[in-house]
Amino acid sequence: MRGWDSISRPRRGTTTGVAPASSDLALWTHEAVRAECGAAYSRYSRDLDAHYRDYFRSHPDERGFHPRQAADIERALPPSWEHLAADLPTRARHVHHLSGRSSQLLALSLLGASARLDPGLSWLFDGLSPLPPTDSAIVPPQFEYELPPEALNEQLPRLTSIDFLVQTSELVICTEAKRGEDGMGRCSCAPGAAKVANCSQKVLDRPLYWQAAYDLFGMPDRGPGKPCPVSLGYQAIRSVAAARYLATGHRAPVFALVYDAENPYFGGAGAWPGWPRVLEHTLRGQDDQIRFRAISWRELLPLLPIDDGLREWARDKHRLQ
């Protein structure tokens, strides 16, 4: 982890709707996080939209029908890197993947180009250090790797997918890429399920979700009148469950997060420390079960083996430098 102060760990097992000054995930709710981040996120989001509107206005050859959207995936990618589109299966492309704000296309552009330039992935291992010694990837890294339905007992079309999957002989790294999102996602249970545990039977029948939530995230037991224990950390819990499932043999599972530190949900706002700190604190000391690593896009960028042209694109289009 990079430069985070240690925070004493409060008692687990209590949940409140009032924002506590704590990095323990079990003490937060959707409502409490939104109360801390809402105003700052609105300003951040408006500023980000304005930036992409200005970018596409000055690059009309790239702009699609929407003022903040590219015309097609080739024009959403950096110049001379249009071939990276082949690394992202059509069916795995997000609905808004052509938006300037798309974390999926940002990851494909920067991580995809870096993986082509340095297949040994030394830049990734450096960025996520410390990690156990390892060899290079034994298969090419994969974008939007979809787990088979039986892995986590899921059904089409809602299968867990990994934004950027790296597998070596020693490690399985499941990377979640974020940019302008308002958090780590949430479950698709019935309305109100996040406030009071009212999970769908399909979610209840996914034991690896609940095992990760209880054993690794320290979430309180599901019960009447209590918030759903998997809802707030839904995407992180799924990613951890996926990493542990994929880490066959003696390989160590790693859950990695690449994020925008200017986004209040990740950089923090008010009493909310931000998702990287919360996850680091909540999963601390469990390296024998899961390793969590996080790095911002701006911290990762200097480590990438990309040329000046691609750095200029990252600066101009995504204001990353």
**Mode of pairing for the β-strands spanning 142-146 and 161-167:** antiparallel
pLDDT of residue 191: 59
Nearest to 241 by CA among 301, 172, 195: 172
165, 150 contact by CB (below 8 A): no
Residue 155's pLDDT is: 81
pLDDT of residue 119: 95
Give the strand pairing for 161-167 and 171-177. Answer: antiparallel
Q: What confidence score (pLDDT) does residue 135 get?
A: 94
Residues 179-212: b if buried by 16+ CB within 10 A, e if exposed: bbbbbbbbbebeeebbbebebeeebeebebbbeb
Among 85, 79, 128, which residue's Cα sits nearest to residue 104? 85
Task: Give the whole-angstrom CA distance, residue 219 versus residue 209.
Answer: 11
Low-confidence ranges of the chain (pLDDT < 70): 1-21, 188-198
Beta sheet of 291-296, edge-to-edge order: 142-146, 161-167, 171-177, 252-259, 291-296
Give dist(CA 132, CA 295) in Å, integer.
17
The answer to whether the bond into 130 is cis (omega within 30° of 0) is yes
Position 194 scores a pLDDT of 54
pLDDT at 11: 32
Q: Which of 139, 66, 143 lies closest to 100, judged by CA?
A: 66
130: DSSP letter: S
Residue 25 is which amino acid?
L
Kindly state the tokens that stand for 181: 């999102």
Q: Write out the two tokens for 265.
A: 């949900």
| pTM for the model | 0.90
**pLDDT tens readout for residues 138-159:** 999 999 999 999 999 988 777 8
pLDDT of residue 122: 96
Phi first, then psi, for residue 174 (nearest 5°) are -105, 110
Position 149 scores a pLDDT of 93
Measured CA to CA in angstroms, residue 128 lies from 51, 135, 255, 295 at distances of 29, 15, 10, 7
| 106 residue type, one letter | L
| C-alpha span between 286 and 283 (Å, rounded) | 6
Could you give the maximum distance between any two Cα atoms of the chain, in Å? 56
Which stretches of the chain are DSSP H helices?
A: 30-58, 73-76, 103-117, 122-127, 149-152, 201-204, 207-211, 234-246, 264-267, 275-283, 297-300, 308-318
Whose tokens are 């997918």? That residue is: 161
